[in-house]
Structure formats: structure tokens, C-alpha cells
């Protein structure tokens, strides 16, 4: 059903001739607006995750004006509503602790305000899933506006990639190969414009997923933040959301099973961040699509990696990806694996939005018959250490570790691990398996990005750069190495990882998708009977609520009570 000025949601606040509505009109006039500026027009919430503490979104302070310009041009009334910024750079112990808080904030902002549609401004890692999860639950027409990647980094003429090169150069520094002055040059060159990380880390993966779900304008996710095309895209978003309100193009018409399938395929073809798994599952479940770890493993086995972008590729960055044709070019090449009939926010089908998409560099965006990797973006392993699953990125680890067994070296906390790892007398060999536990959704809390445990200094000095690592934490999307992550159930709730001891043999058999401890069942049961649940870290406040309600990683780490199946949403507010 098409909307009319009388059936707009915002009309419930503004139209009636009663005292309440009079108050709403009077307060809008208090801001300097005349009735003709809002009356009968779609009111658009612009959810802006700008903050002074978020360098990835620095341009959003101004870019929001371009969105407003588009809204006004198309006959709407824009209202900027700031939302939690989730700065990956500063927020500790992890922004993941607050992804669900942002999702809840978004849903309630939209529910409680007199708005008809929403523009979601995000990009830095968890802002994408947080905004999308909340807006899906709110159910109003919405468009996602991705922040865009920052420009390539630069160090002495060499391109630097966010995260990935920081880890690499830091290991060289720890091995004694880089002076302090040289390191400062790396610091100054690695993030030299606003925009999100420009590797295919969590941010670029998640904005690509948002586009593949049909939630952005065509091509929007690849435009660098500092490119003037980004400004024009922003005003186009402002214009488009007005049509979407009149068309009543709500997210449930876009986020179908098929759209989620497209997003999974695109994620794999980008060589996606391991974090994509947990966010994809959470977003899909909000849309009522039951995406499982097995579905994701199947997609990982059968989808070639086409984006030759670091850290999975070894040369290019997001700026190169944009110049090569961006995500539209990638999706055109992947189109035999996509359902092109799905609707997008543009009002066109995915197939229509890909018409005319061209690739200008076949090395940056590979074809299905010449991929970067035939498979292996992500794999899901299970076994007596991870009964409901764990995640590994085979393409980003030393192939000698794909089949591996060695003795565990177990750390119960991040500080304990950090104190030991640079100890020159640490009893560790390249065959050891480094284990960190107590870092899952409840135990972390919030699954901090501690899963790429640093290489022990003694091994770095001997020239080793990879070893098997295992944890219930996550790792940054720009990380790499043989890291088995998101072990579920986590140790804090009594998952078998809690029962592992230093010296036990751990075996990874990637081909069989197994991760096991070679400890006999009787001994495991004996240890289980002695195990006691550790106390939650927070005894009050948000952290307390988080630990009580967060679900395990394999089901998306959403709050149980925010999940769609938990119960019906509150009705529209009484006014």
C-alpha cells in the first residue's frame, strides 16, 4: 500500500487537532521551522554515528548536511538523531560489547520519534551490524549510507593497509628490524584520511554485505570517503529515502532468504573478515532468516575469493577496488552464484542495478575461473573442543598448519598471556598451540579482538611468523594467521575449552573440519565435574545485563530479548 500524507506515521504526531499534536507543532516551530516545511512530508531520521572519538566517521559531521540536502530536495523533512558511535579505535575492551546497545538504541530511537524513514550513517566495524539490526527490528523504510574506506596508507612510497600492516611492521619491530623513528613514520602514514579501514577488514566486509543485502544505493560501499562521489551518493540517499517512504518499501521486502544468501556469497568472495560470520548470523536472525554455521561453512567451501584485497590478497587496498569497478563489478562476476531477482533499496532488482557494471582491473577483481583462492575464505570447524562450532580463515594462515597437532599452552586471561608472550624463557615451540580462554561473549565480556594471540618473542626471533592459536575471542578483520576463533560454547559457560590443560594435545584437521583435544572422554568428564563457573566481571550495570542476556557466538551474540523470536514488538506508541 502506497503512503499518502494522511497515512504517514509522522502524521500521528503532527496532524490531529488536539493539544498533544499542537505541542509537537509548537516545538517544531520553536526550532525555527514553519508548518509548510514539515506538514504532510516524510520525516526522515538520519541516524548519525559521528563522534569526536571516531576518526573513521570524522566526515559524517559534514556529510550529514549532504543527506539533508537530498531529503529537502525530494520534499522531506530531515531530523538528525545522533547514535552511539562505536569507535573501533578507542572503545575498550571491545566495540562488540556495545553492538547490541547500538542496535537497541536504533530500534528505540525510530520507535519513539515522529519519523517515517531512516538513513543509517555507519561504517566503522560494528556500526554496520548495530545500525542494521536495530533498523530491521524497527521496520521503517531505511537506506544504509556507508562511510567509505580511507585512502591507501603510505610509508616511504609503499602502500600500507590498516591493521594488517600495523601487525606486520610491529612484529618486525619486535624482532629488532625497525627503528623507533621508522615506526613513527608507519604510525603517521597508515591512516591518512577520514574513512573506515581500507583493507578488506570488518568494516569493508560489512559495508559490502550491507550492499549485497540490498540496503545501500548501487555501488555505494566501495566509494572512498574522501572522493566527491561520496558526497553525491549521500545526497542521492537523501532523495531516495523519500521515494521509499511513499512506496512503503520496508526492510522486510528486501531482507529475504535470497538476499541473505547473496550477502553470504559476496562476503565469501571478498575474502571476508571472520567477524562477518557473527554479524551475518545476527542480522539474518533479526530478519527472520535462520542462517547457521553449517550454511556458512558450505558457502566457504564453494565460493571462490574474487577480491584481491589485503589481508587475503597481498597487494591491493579498497581504493584500488573502487577504481577497478568496486562491488558492482565483483557482484557482476559473481552473478551466476547470486539471486538477481531480489529487490534493493533503489527500487530495482539486484540484476537491474548490476547492468552495465564493468571491471577495469582483472587482477584486483578476479573472475570465477581465475580466483585468488578457489575456496577457503572462512571455514567452520567442530569437535570435542567446539561442539557448536569455531571459525578459521584458511586462506590467511600458513598451509602447514591446516593439519596440525601440538601441545596446548593455555592462558586464562589476556593480562596473563600478555605478561608471558615476550618472556625470552617461555617454554614454547613452533608446534605449540597457544590458547586464550575466558574471552567469549559472556566471559570477555563481548568477545574482544584478542584471538590473534601475538607470536611469542622467542619464536619471532627464530624467524617464525605463524603458529596455531585457539580462543573463544574474535580477532580483528585485518588480522591473519592460523587462529581458530569464536569457540562455542565459550569457556565461561562451561564449554569444553574450559577443561583443556597446558600440555594436552590439540589437533586441527581442517579438511575434516575438526578441532579436538586428544584427551579421553573419561578424563574430560572428570574435569567437568570439578569445573566451577567463574564470576561474571560486572556485578551491576550494562556489563551485568550483557552477560545475563548475550547469546553464544554461533547464534550471532545478540541479546536473547532483542531477537525477533523472543516475542512481539511493542505496538506503535500512544501519543
Which residues would be at the binding site for ligand FES (CB under 6 A)?
Answer: 56, 88-89, 124-125, 162, 196-197, 203
Question: Least distance to ligand FES from the beta carbon of 471, Å?
Answer: 21
* H or E element that contains 142: strand 142-146
By beta-carbon proximity to ligand FES, the closer residue of 245 and 309 is 309
Supply the DSSP symbol for 72: H
By beta-carbon proximity to ligand FES, the closer residue of 203 and 470 is 203
Question: Least distance to ligand FES from the beta carbon of 201, Å?
Answer: 6
By beta-carbon proximity to Mg ion, the closer residue of 88 and 107 is 88
The yes or no reply on residue 54 touching Mg ion (CB under 5 A) is no
Question: Least distance to ligand FES from the beta carbon of 254, Å?
Answer: 25
By beta-carbon proximity to ligand FES, the closer residue of 54 and 303 is 54
Question: Least distance to ligand FES from the beta carbon of 238, Å?
Answer: 24
CA–CA gap between residue 210 and residue 202 (Å, rounded): 12
The yes or no reply on residue 128 touching Mg ion (CB under 5 A) is no
Phi and psi at 154, nearest 5°, equal: -145, 130
Candidates 123-131, 165-173, 297-305, 532-540; binding stretch for Mg ion (CB under 5 A): 123-131
By beta-carbon proximity to ligand FES, the closer residue of 88 and 107 is 88
Q: On the CB side of 292, how many CA atoms lie within 13 Å of its CA?
A: 6
Distance between terminal CA atoms of the chain?
A: 24
Say which entry of ligand FES, Mg ion, none residue 196 contacts (CB below 5 to 8 A, set by partner kind).
Answer: ligand FES
Supply the DSSP symbol for 89: T
Question: Least distance to ligand FES from the beta carbon of 540, Å?
Answer: 30
And the C-alpha cell for 156?
616511504
By beta-carbon proximity to ligand FES, the closer residue of 38 and 450 is 450
Say which entry of Mg ion, ligand FES, none residue 105 contacts (CB below 5 to 8 A, set by partner kind).
Answer: none
Sign, CA torsion 79/80/82/87: positive
Supply the DSSP symbol for 79: E
Candidates 196-204, 314-322, 336-344, 450-458; binding stretch for Mg ion (CB under 5 A): 196-204
Say which entry of ligand FES, Mg ion, none residue 475 contacts (CB below 5 to 8 A, set by partner kind).
Answer: none
The yes or no reply on residue 555 touching Mg ion (CB under 5 A) is no
Question: Least distance to Mg ion from the beta carbon of 53, Å?
Answer: 15
Say which entry of ligand FES, Mg ion, none residue 212 contacts (CB below 5 to 8 A, set by partner kind).
Answer: none
Q: For strand 386-392 and strand 379-383, is the pairing parallel, antiparallel, or unpaired?
A: antiparallel
Nearest to 230 by CA among 381, 424, 58: 58
Please answer whether residues 94 and 447 qualify as being in contact, where contact means their C-beta atoms are separated by less than 8 angstroms.
yes
Say which entry of ligand FES, Mg ion, none residue 56 contacts (CB below 5 to 8 A, set by partner kind).
Answer: ligand FES
Please answer whether residues 440 and 491 qualify as being in contact, where contact means their C-beta atoms are separated by less than 8 angstroms.
yes
And the C-alpha cell for 230?
561520496
By beta-carbon proximity to ligand FES, the closer residue of 471 and 476 is 476
And the C-alpha cell for 183?
615506526
Nearest to 559 by CA among 126, 83, 100: 100
The yes or no reply on residue 127 touching Mg ion (CB under 5 A) is no
Candidates 7-15, 194-202, 294-302, 423-431; binding stretch for Mg ion (CB under 5 A): 194-202
Residue of 48, 127, 128, 202 that binds Mg ion (CB under 5 A): 202
Say which entry of Mg ion, ligand FES, none residue 126 contacts (CB below 5 to 8 A, set by partner kind).
Answer: none
Nearest to 280 by CA among 348, 205, 226: 205
Q: How many residues contact Mg ion, by CB under 5 A?
A: 4
Question: Least distance to Mg ion from the beta carbon of 285, Å?
Answer: 22
Supply the DSSP symbol for 260: H
CA–CA gap between residue 25 and residue 22 (Å, rounded): 5
By beta-carbon proximity to Mg ion, the closer residue of 86 and 103 is 86
Question: Least distance to ligand FES from the beta carbon of 416, Å?
Answer: 27
Question: Least distance to ligand FES from the beta carbon of 147, Å?
Answer: 8
Question: Least distance to ligand FES from the beta carbon of 163, Å?
Answer: 7
* The residue to which cell 558526497 is assigned: 231
Q: Reduce the secondary structure of 359-390 to three states and give it as a string.
A: CCCCCCECCCCCCCECCCCCEEEEECCEEEEE
Phi and psi at 127, nearest 5°, equal: -65, -35
By beta-carbon proximity to ligand FES, the closer residue of 35 and 53 is 53
By beta-carbon proximity to ligand FES, the closer residue of 85 and 100 is 85
Question: Least distance to Mg ion from the beta carbon of 311, Å?
Answer: 11
Rounded to the nearest angstrom, the gap between the alpha carbon of residue 95 and the centroid of all alpha carbons in its chain is 11
Q: For strand 468-471 and strand 433-436, is the pairing parallel, antiparallel, or unpaired?
A: parallel
Q: Which residue is nearest to Mg ion (CB)?
A: 476
Is the peptide bond prior to 93 cis by the omega test (within 30 degrees of 0)?
yes
Residue 142's alpha-carbon distances to 115, 119, 214, 435, 448, in angstroms, are 11, 6, 11, 42, 30
Question: Least distance to ligand FES from the beta carbon of 186, Å?
Answer: 16
Say which entry of Mg ion, ligand FES, none residue 235 contacts (CB below 5 to 8 A, set by partner kind).
Answer: none
Question: Least distance to ligand FES from the beta carbon of 122, Å?
Answer: 10
By beta-carbon proximity to ligand FES, the closer residue of 313 and 383 is 313
CA–CA gap between residue 344 and residue 253 (Å, rounded): 9
Say which entry of ligand FES, Mg ion, none residue 162 contacts (CB below 5 to 8 A, set by partner kind).
Answer: ligand FES
Question: Least distance to ligand FES from the beta carbon of 130, Å?
Answer: 13
By beta-carbon proximity to ligand FES, the closer residue of 165 and 554 is 165
By beta-carbon proximity to ligand FES, the closer residue of 477 and 495 is 477
Nearest to 128 by CA among 200, 41, 69, 215: 215
Non-local (6+) Cβ contacts of 16 within 8 A are: none
Residue of 85, 216, 476, 488 that binds Mg ion (CB under 5 A): 476
CA–CA gap between residue 16 and residue 374 (Å, rounded): 61
Nearest to 546 by CA among 93, 106, 47, 85: 93
Q: Reduce the secondary structure of 280-298 to three states and give it as a string.
A: HHHHHHHCCCCCCHHHHHH
Candidates 88-96, 233-241, 316-324, 389-397; binding stretch for Mg ion (CB under 5 A): 88-96
Contacts to Mg ion by CB under 5 A = 88, 125, 202, 476
Amino acid at each position: 500500500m502506497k503512503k499518502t500524507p494522511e497515512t504517514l506515521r509522522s502524521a500521528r504526531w503532527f496532524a490531529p487537532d488536539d493539544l498533544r499534536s499542537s505541542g509537537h507543532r509548537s516545538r517544531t516551530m520553536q526550532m525555527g521551522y514553519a508548518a509548510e516545511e514539515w506538514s504532510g512530508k516524510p520525516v526522515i531520521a538520519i541516524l548519525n554515528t559521528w563522534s569526536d572519538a571516531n576518526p573513521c566517521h570524522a566526515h559524517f559531521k559534514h556529510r550529514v548536511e549532504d543527506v539533508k540536502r537530498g531529503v529537502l530536495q525530494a520534499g522531506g523533512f530531515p531530523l538528525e538523531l545522533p547514535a552511539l558511535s562505536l569507535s573501533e579505535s578507542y572503545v575498550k575492551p571491545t566495540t562488540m560489547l556495545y553492538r547490541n546497545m547500538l542496535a537497541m538504541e536504533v530500534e528505540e530511537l525510530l520507535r519513539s520519534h515522529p519519523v517515517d524513514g531512516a538513513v543509517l550513517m555507519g561504517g566503522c566495524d560494528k556500526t554496520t551490524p548495530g545500525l542494521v539490526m536495530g533498523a530491521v527490528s524497527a521496520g521503517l523504510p531505511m537506506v544504509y549510507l556507508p562511510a567509505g574506506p580511507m585512502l591507501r596508507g603510505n610509508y616511504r612510497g609503499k602502500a600500507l593497509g590498516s591493521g594488517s600492516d600495523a601487525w606486520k611492521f610491529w612484529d618486525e619491530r619486535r624482532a629488532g628490524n625497525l627503528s623507533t623513528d621508522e615506526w613513527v613514520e608507519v604510525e603517521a602514514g597508515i591512516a591518512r584520511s577520514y574513512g573506515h579501514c581500507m583493507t578488506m577488514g570488518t568494516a569493508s566486509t560489512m559495508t559490502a554485505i550491507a550492499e549485497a543485502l540490498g540496503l545501500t544505493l548501487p555501488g555505494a560501499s566501495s566509494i572512498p570517503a574522501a572522493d566527491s562521489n561520496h558526497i553525491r551518493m549521500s545526497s542521492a540517499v537523501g532523495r531516495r529515502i523519500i521515494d521509499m517512504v511513499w512506496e512503503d518499501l520496508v526492510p522486510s521486502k528486501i531482507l529475504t532468504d535470497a538476499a541473505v544468501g547473496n550477502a553470504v556469497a559476496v562476503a565469501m568472495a571478498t575474502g571476508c573478515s571472520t567477524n562477518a560470520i557473527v554479524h551475518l548470523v545476527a542480522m539474518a536472525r533479526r530478519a527472520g532468516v535462520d542462517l547457521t554455521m553449517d550454511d556458512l561453512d558450505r558457502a566457504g567451501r564453494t565460493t571462490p575469493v574474487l577480491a584481491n584485497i589485503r589481508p587475503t590478497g597481498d597487494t591491493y587496498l579498497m581504493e584500488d577496488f573502487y577504481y577497478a569497478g568496486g562491488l558492482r563489478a565483483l557482484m557482476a562476476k559473481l552473478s551466476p552464484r547470486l539471486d538477481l531477482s531480489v529487490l534493493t533499496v533503489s527500487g530495482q532488482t539486484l540484476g537491474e542495478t548490476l547492468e552495465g557494471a564493468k571491471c577495469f582491473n582483472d587482477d584486483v577483481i578476479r573472475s570465477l575461473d581465475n580466483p585468488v583462492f578457489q575456496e577457503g575464505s572462512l571455514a567452520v570447524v567442530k569437535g570435542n573442543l567446539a561442539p557448536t562450532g569455531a571459525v578459521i580463515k584458511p586462506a590467511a594462515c600458513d598451509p602447514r598448519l591446516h593439519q596440525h597437532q601440538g601441545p596446548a599452552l593455555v592462558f586464562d586471561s589476556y593480562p596473563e598471556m600478555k605478561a608471558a608472550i615476550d618472556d625470552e624463557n617461555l617454554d614454547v615451540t613452533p608446534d605449540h598451540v597457544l590458547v586464550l580462554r575466558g574471552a567469549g561473549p559472556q566471559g570477555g565480556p563481548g568477545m574482544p579482538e584478542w584471538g590473534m594471540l601475538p607470536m611469542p618473542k622467542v619464536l619471532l626471533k627464530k624467524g617464525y611468523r605463524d603458529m596455531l592459536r585457539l580462543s573463544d575471542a574474535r580477532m580483528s578483520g585485518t588480522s591473519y594467521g592460523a587462529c581458530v576463533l569464536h569457540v562455542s560454547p565459550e569457556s565461561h559457560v562451561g564449554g569444553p575449552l574450559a577443561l583443556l590443560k597446558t600440555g594436552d594435545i590439540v589437533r586441527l584437521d581442517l579438511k575434516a573440519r575438526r578441532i579436538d583435544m586428544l584427551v579421553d572422554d573419561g578424563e574430560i568428564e572428570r574435569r567437568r565435574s570439578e569445573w566451577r563457573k567463574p564470576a561474571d566481571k560486572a556485578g551491576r550495570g550494562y556489563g551485568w545485563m550483557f552477560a545475563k542476556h548475550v547469546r553464544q557466538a554461533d547464534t550471532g551474540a545478540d541479546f536473547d530479548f532483542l531477537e525477533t523470536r523472543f516475542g512481539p514488538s511493542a505496538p506503535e506508541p500512544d501519543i
